[in-house]
Structure 1
Amino acid sequence: METLIPVINKLQDVFNTVGSETIQLPQIVVIGSQSSGKSSVIECLVGRDFLPRGSGIVTRRPLVLQLIHISKTEIENRKQESGDGQTLEEWGKFLHTKNKLYTDFEEVRQEIENETERMTGNNKGVSGDAINLKIYSQNVVNLTLVDLPGITKVPVGDQPEDIEHQIKDLCLKYISNPNSIILSVTAANTDMATSESLALAREVDPEGRRTLAVVTKLDLMDAGTDAMEVLCGHVIPVKLGIIGVVNRSQADINTKKTMSDCLRDEASFLQRKYPSIANRNGSPYLAKTLNRLLMHHIRDCLPELKTRVNVLIAQFQSLLNSFGEPVEDKGQVLLQIITRFAAAYCNTIEGTAKNIETTELCGGARICYIFHETFGRTLESVDPLGGLTTLDVLTAIRNATGPRPSLFVPEISFELLVKRQIRRLEEPSLRCVELVHEEMQRIIQHCGTQQEMLRFPKLHERIVDVVTHLLRRRLPPTNSMVENLVSIELAYINTKHPDFAEAHSVHKTAVEDTQERRMVAKEGTPAKVPLPEVMENKENKPIQTPMRKLSAREQRDCNVIERLIKAYFLIVRKGIQDSVPKAIMHFLVNYVKDNLQSELVSRLYKKEEICSLLDESEHIAARRKEGHEMLQALQRASHIIGEIREIHLW
């Protein structure tokens, strides 16, 4: 059991080197109100006067204090000599001063003050950055303590307004650690029911399973009163117990009364005032109790601690693997990255990528959606006769007849009007090209989320530029082809198209209509008044007369043209709906897929640029370094824990 606390101290050393709070180690956290006697309790445990003193908040940074017991044999075996040539018996060592040893504890106090002011200044503010101090002595028991700033309510002087919340949050950060023992310090000359430290401990440890109460200043209680009820746990029950101690007075400190004399006077006072419980109180008993509690607490936490370390080793190993090893052959690595990117890009289009999106369509699926949903529905929403009025149709018919009245509906009017409608298909077709181009641009970012792309930001940027340039270069020929598809339909109106059956029925109707007109002419039926005429006003400006009702023949002619336009438009729309996606696939999508890798190699694989392209991101380099240090620390921690045999736990 005695080996457990040194193990935790070793683990604390390991994790201090990387500054990590990933592992919550067992430790004793000392909390108490300002001037409750926390510092005096800790100094009695150490047997040395070494903590800063004064008015207001003196402890303004957490002090992680490791007490390490050394035997006389170890002292004799140490060949290290102090400056005056005498063998070291007691010394302190700070983490931030590396291997410097402090044999004068007045220097230890001064260093704590200097290091505190370095982080917090001299405005009495607090900081969460801990000071780590080890004290080696044959007069101490193995302990790990954390001394926290005293709890205060009202800011004094130049303290910040939220000083109460700052200190409370700092205390909660440490005592919330389930692996910590809470040492709650309360002065005997105050009401235990109003103890700030006990109230704070109860917030995180409501059952009091890991809280030990210390009652200080027993000698300063009012005459005629004592703390017997409190020390016996009748007032505030605490499961780990309540221990009373007698602090050094300010006069003792001023006269530099030795710690051994103070401990002797404490024992004398307890024997005189509380004879029945004197052996369960006092600073020596507190030190032994803390040592015992901490060892048992470490024993209980050890299995979970070991599991936690092993889990973190696996996590950090995986993290380091994702960052990759430092690059040696940059040319080979560049080709590998280009190949993987090109493969990932093509696989995203083909739908064979390893990481398939489940929240939204992307890649080839999105392109398919654009072809058959977005583009298809847009074309279907185009009205064959949209934007075409009856007046437009009739005007076209009349313009196609010239000065002579026509017996048949002129074909030229149909051709003129149907071309006008077919041109309306060009805009949605070009919009389809634009949507596919945007999706292929978006695929770059989808493939660029790979860790190696983040690792080399310059290479990532250049790859994006090359692919973007390739896509932009393929956009004009694709647009040109789509425009040509519409122009091809406009170049020749194929009225003999096998699907254009409407033309045959219209032709039959036109012949019957001509025969009817001839019969009407023989009977002498007066000709019908033509559609609105354009007249000249006095200012020689053309004006249009109001629309009148169409004659039966005019209505029939318009219906014929509209039926022909609608029938032929649907044939052309069907062809455009089929040919535009094929053109986009050939000129844009498939071309990029087939030429992406060769384009990347030709543009990026240049001897003079390889080194600069593979300059690693500072963020990734820093993360790898931190991860490597943390992995080494965890492996050392695992080795230290592994050295503990089951026999040592009992």
Structure 2
Amino acid sequence: MSSGSSSFSQTSLGVDSDTLDSIATTATTPATPAESAEAVGLANAQLSQGRRRMLDLVNRLHETGVQIDIDLPQIAVIGNQSAGKSSLIESISGITLPRAAGTCTRCPTECSMSNSPTWKCIVSLRIMTDSTGQLLGEPRNEQFGPVILDKSEVEDRIRRAQRALLHPNIPRSRFLEENEGDIVDDPSAPTFSSNCVSLKISGPKIADLSFCDLPGLIRSSSGDGSVGDVEFVERLVESYIKKPSCIMLLAVSCETDFQNQGALQMAKRFDPNGERTVGVLTKPDRIPAGDEGRWVQFIRNEVPGYILSNSWYCVKQPNSVQLREGITWEQARAKEDEFFTMTSPWSDLDPMFQRYLRARNLVERLSRILSDLISKRLPEIHKELENSISITRGQLSELPKAPSRDPLSEITTLIVRFTSDLSRHLEGVPEKGGLLQAIRPAQVVFRKKIRRTAPNFKPFDESDAETRTLARPDFLDNEDEADDDMGEEVDVAENDPGDDSEDEADAIYIDEVLRQAQESRTRELPGNYPYIVQEGYIRQITDQWLEPAKALCDRVHVLVSEYVLRMVQVHFKDFGMGLLERQVRVIMQEHLKNRLEAAQSRIDWLFALETRPFTLNTHYMADYREKFMAYYKGARHEHSNTMLMQQINSYHPPTDPSSQEQSPVSKILSGLVQVGMYGVKATDLPKLLSDPMEPALDIMADVRAYFQVAYKRFTDNVPLAVDHELVRGLEKDMFDTITSQLRIYSEVDGLRICQELAEENPRTAGRREELSKKLERIQAASRELSRF
């Protein structure tokens, strides 16, 4: 692998040529030879002005905090504690950083440098998290003190800024205005912070470069930090360097065996192929005698397992004596040149490796690497931002609606919508799965059960039961077919025993009916039988009706309850923590219970009405009585008058009444007309025959005809009552019932109750806050990109 190659090669931005020219190839006025000789990296005026603009853009993107969500190009300076990171950064930036025994950097320090005619430095605090450690949406960038025009003031300002970040509860002004010794540290304050000190440095001979100095990794065995501090710093460093677009500027001290330096191992873990690591050897003047060759191998990029695509560099910083004497940045660079020029083995390196020595060459290389990476990443960042905005908005839209500032109005609106929607469904919606569609099968089952209570009269003696059968009356076919049509889509296997034929086990034979009539006679004249016989049979029938009616009511109650509770969930599930849904559920269940009791009471009343036979539908009953009388008589005479019944059953009215050839039945009907009996049909002829069982036939026809009247009345009235009291009756006072039970309009507790009901699930609230903050960051970044 070539020691000077870069994995972050410059690539096309993937935009039109005009835009590409404006970004990457717009040249400024050529610099003078002297200016070009002094300028470094992107500060060189011969490089594209568009590239410097890109660097500024990335710096502004960092200020939005979007690096949490998007992989932004960045240089992160990492190294072990006391690995010379501070001196390295001083050699790059030209400023002095705070120094102390052990760890000096207590929070990330972002440094953005640019070339300008005059020198100045602006120190800011970038607040990424709140007091609880939660990420803010868009970071707060607070300038910390006035603009610095004297380099000597920078170190003190940075130290104060770090203390201000570690003590967020102490006013910032105290750290700026008071003597540091007068401010007592809070014992509970953290040792490290993920919030940043931001430096904007501009001036002549300064490279256009940006980087982030991270706290040095603490050796857990050194005693310089607690276990918690060690883990915090490691997590903080990892959060930066794990991103693919982070260039690691790795500081490795030459005074310690490189195998024991944790930062080197961490860089190896996150960049095993060495594609985005720039290695920097520090403190080359402290290499033990005889070990120089081992470190020179790094510069030649020949150390197995530690070969880097962007090579290793070596810098020489001032020692402690020189620092105490106040050596300037220019003097330090001169001393560095002198060291590498005069000191072996560095001075003996081939010219091709000399370019990896000195801070100037390092800065030049970092500028180009960062520039190439930014050129490659900008179009990708644009797409990532757009995708992230779309995804985040979608995730926010999937969350329940945020709590209202006016919970009473919102709760009232929810209840109004719920009651209105439920009323619409109680009235009936023309769609599959509606409430009325769900109830209809239960109504059909109820009707069939009542119809099966019809008395199973047999117009022959019980002794003839094995030899005689009774055909189904054909005049009931239309009614039964209508009932069957109602149940076409009903699966009543559990409730319906089978066909609608009358149960032979419950057969009532004619001799039994006559015996019952004779035993019931009191003071009646001969040939007359008491009405109580018919009433008794009718009571036996209607006594069976209460259970199916209540079963219908209970089934409808279950269906309505399930339907209503589903609607409660639909309307209230996303409100608050679910307390409103649970309370409305309980209220509606109690309301349903009250309506059930009302419906059951109405059924009891309807059932009580049926205990005494009554009807004003005399024409309807008379018609059925006549039909059943003919039906029963016809069945009796089918055996005793076989020839007559055969003639009647095979009779067809003649097409030509004047024909001389007439059947016996036609002759009988003609004779009846001649004696003044008009309108007699062939099926009426059995009625003219005398029968000793005539009284029993009268009772049977009366009871069977009344059943047709009563059962139709009852099978209409019960579903109507259930619908009136339990279904449509549910919407009666529903809104007032819910609001009064919730007590949301109470003058004393109403506001408190509404606030409790509207309280949001902490997990949902946290998720909304997290997504909202993320959306703020990526939208702010998108705006910056749009301005560019």
TM more than 0.5? yes
Q: What is the distance in 2 between the residues matched to 1:338 and 1:142?
A: 62
Pick from 160, 165, 172 the counterpart of residue 111 of structure 1.
Answer: 160
Q: What is the distance in 1 between the residues matched to 2:491 and 2:222?
A: 73
Tell me how far 1:7 sits from its aligned partner.
Answer: 0.9
Asked if 1:302 corresponds to 2:378, the answer is: yes
Higher mean displacement: 271-280 or 294-303:
271-280
Q: Deviations over 1:430-453 (max 9, x none)?
A: 365156235413412312356xx6
Query: In structure 2, do the counterparts of structure 1 residues 323 and 430 end up closer, same or farther at CA, with 3 Å as the change threshold?
Result: closer
Q: What is the distance in 2 between the residues matched to 1:642 and 1:320?
A: 25
Pick from 300, 305, 314 the counterpart of residue 232 of structure 1.
Answer: 300
Contact 2:76 2:240 in 1 (8 A): yes
Partner residue of 2:199? 134
**Per the alignment, in what secondary structure is the counterpart of residue 3 of structure 1?**
helix
Partner residue of 2:689? none
Partner residue of 1:31? 78
Tell me how far 1:617 sits from its aligned partner.
Answer: 6.8
Contact 2:80 2:217 in 1 (8 A): yes
Partner residue of 1:68? 113
Query: In structure 2, do the counterparts of structure 1 residues 218 and 305 end up closer, same or farther at CA, with 3 Å as the change threshold?
Result: same
Q: Deviations over 1:260-306 (max 9, x none)?
A: 32222222222233233233222222222222211111111101111
1:487-636 residue pairs with structure 2 within 5 A?
Answer: 488-489=606-607, 492=610, 585-592=723-730, 634=778
Which letter maps to 2:146? Answer: L
Tell me how far 1:342 sits from its aligned partner.
Answer: 5.2
Partner residue of 1:267? 337
Asked if 1:4 corresponds to 2:54, the answer is: yes
Tell me how far 1:427 sits from its aligned partner.
Answer: 6.8
Which letter maps to 2:290? Answer: G
Asked if 1:279 corresponds to 2:329, the answer is: no
Partner residue of 1:290? 366
**Per the alignment, in what secondary structure is the counterpart of residue 384 of structure 2?**
helix
Partner residue of 2:603? 485
Pick from 430, 433, 436 the counterpart of residue 554 of structure 2.
Answer: 430
Tell me how far 1:6 sits from its aligned partner.
Answer: 0.9
Which letter maps to 1:244? Answer: C
Q: Deviations over 1:574-620 (max 9, x none)?
A: x98x98776555434445569878999999999x99x9799997979
Q: What is the distance in 2 between the residues matched to 1:203 and 1:69?
A: 32
Q: What is the distance in 1 between the residues matched to 2:308 and 2:261?
A: 13
Q: What is the distance in 2 between the residues matched to 1:598 and 1:338?
A: 10
Query: In structure 2, do the counterparts of structure 1 residues 438 and 628 end up closer, same or farther at CA, with 3 Å as the change threshold?
Result: closer
Tell me how far 1:246 sits from its aligned partner.
Answer: 2.3
Q: What is the distance in 1 between the residues matched to 2:768 and 2:70?
A: 19
Q: Deviations over 1:155-175 (max 9, x none)?
A: 655844354443332222211
Partner residue of 1:149? 215
Pick from 125, 130, 140 the counterpart of residue 94 of structure 1.
Answer: 125
Contact 1:348 1:364 in 2 (8 A): no
Query: In structure 2, do the counterparts of structure 1 residues 292 and 52 end up closer, same or farther at CA, with 3 Å as the change threshold?
Result: same
Pick from 268, 284, 304 the counterpart of residue 218 of structure 1.
Answer: 284
Q: What is the distance in 2 between the residues matched to 1:370 and 1:599?
A: 25
Which letter maps to 2:249? Answer: L
Q: What is the distance in 2 between the residues matched to 1:436 and 1:268?
A: 94
Tell me how far 1:469 sits from its aligned partner.
Answer: 5.4
Q: Deviations over 1:612-643 (max 9, x none)?
A: 79999797999999988876765553343245
Partner residue of 1:443? 567
Tell me how far 1:69 sits from its aligned partner.
Answer: 1.6
Q: CA RMSD in A?
A: 6.0
Partner residue of 1:549? none
Which letter maps to 1:130? Answer: N
Contact 2:55 2:209 in 1 (8 A): yes
Query: In structure 2, do the counterparts of structure 1 residues 488 and 368 end up closer, same or farther at CA, with 3 Å as the change threshold?
Result: same
Which letter maps to 1:230? Answer: F
Pick from 8, 32, 51 the counterpart of residue 98 of structure 2.
Answer: 51
Contact 1:43 1:49 in 2 (8 A): yes
Contact 1:474 1:587 in 2 (8 A): no
Q: What is the distance in 1 between the residues matched to 2:225 and 2:61?
A: 36
Q: What is the distance in 2 between the residues matched to 1:133 and 1:627?
A: 26
Asked if 1:172 corresponds to 2:221, the answer is: no
Asked if 1:42 corresponds to 2:112, the answer is: no
Partner residue of 1:81? none
Partner residue of 2:132? none
Which letter maps to 1:299? Answer: S
1:351-430 residue pairs with structure 2 within 5 A?
Answer: 419=543, 423=547, 426=550, 429-430=553-554
Query: In structure 2, do the counterparts of structure 1 residues 208 and 425 end up closer, same or farther at CA, with 3 Å as the change threshold?
Result: farther
Query: In structure 2, do the counterparts of structure 1 residues 165 and 106 end up closer, same or farther at CA, with 3 Å as the change threshold?
Result: closer
Partner residue of 1:79? none
**Per the alignment, in what secondary structure is the counterpart of residue 135 of structure 1?**
strand
Q: What is the distance in 2 between the residues matched to 1:181 and 1:168?
A: 17
**Per the alignment, in what secondary structure is the counterpart of residue 238 of structure 1?**
coil
Partner residue of 2:672? none
Asked if 1:251 corresponds to 2:298, the answer is: no
Query: In structure 2, do the counterparts of structure 1 residues 597 and 637 end up closer, same or farther at CA, with 3 Å as the change threshold?
Result: same
Contact 1:209 1:239 in 2 (8 A): yes
Which letter maps to 2:327? Answer: K
Query: In structure 2, do the counterparts of structure 1 residues 416 and 146 end up closer, same or farther at CA, with 3 Å as the change threshold?
Result: farther
Tell me how far 1:223 sits from its aligned partner.
Answer: 0.7
Tell me how far 1:208 sits from its aligned partner.
Answer: 2.7
Contact 1:6 1:68 in 2 (8 A): no
Partner residue of 2:594? 476
TM, length-normalised to structure 2: 0.53
**Per the alignment, in what secondary structure is the counterpart of residue 100 of structure 1?**
coil
Contact 2:276 2:310 in 1 (8 A): yes
**Per the alignment, in what secondary structure is the counterpart of residue 56 of structure 2?**
helix
Q: Deviations over 1:180-237 (max 9, x none)?
A: 2122222223444554323323333333322222222222111122222111111111
Q: What is the distance in 1 between the residues matched to 2:769 and 2:492?
A: 57
Higher mean displacement: 246-255 or 593-602:
593-602
Q: What is the distance in 2 between the residues matched to 1:281 and 1:415?
A: 116
Query: In structure 2, do the counterparts of structure 1 residues 90 and 132 end up closer, same or farther at CA, with 3 Å as the change threshold?
Result: closer
Query: In structure 2, do the counterparts of structure 1 residues 93 and 341 end up closer, same or farther at CA, with 3 Å as the change threshold?
Result: same
Q: What is the distance in 2 between the residues matched to 1:53 and 1:413?
A: 111
Query: In structure 2, do the counterparts of structure 1 residues 264 and 341 end up closer, same or farther at CA, with 3 Å as the change threshold?
Result: farther
Q: What is the distance in 2 between the residues matched to 1:285 and 1:431?
A: 88
Contact 1:123 1:159 in 2 (8 A): no
Higher mean displacement: 225-234 or 612-621:
612-621
How much identity, in percent, do the aligned residues show?
20
Which letter maps to 2:61? Answer: L
Which letter maps to 1:60? Answer: R
Contact 1:217 1:246 in 2 (8 A): yes
Q: Which has the larger radius of gyration?
A: 2
Which letter maps to 1:212? Answer: V
Q: What is the distance in 2 between the residues matched to 1:487 and 1:351?
A: 27
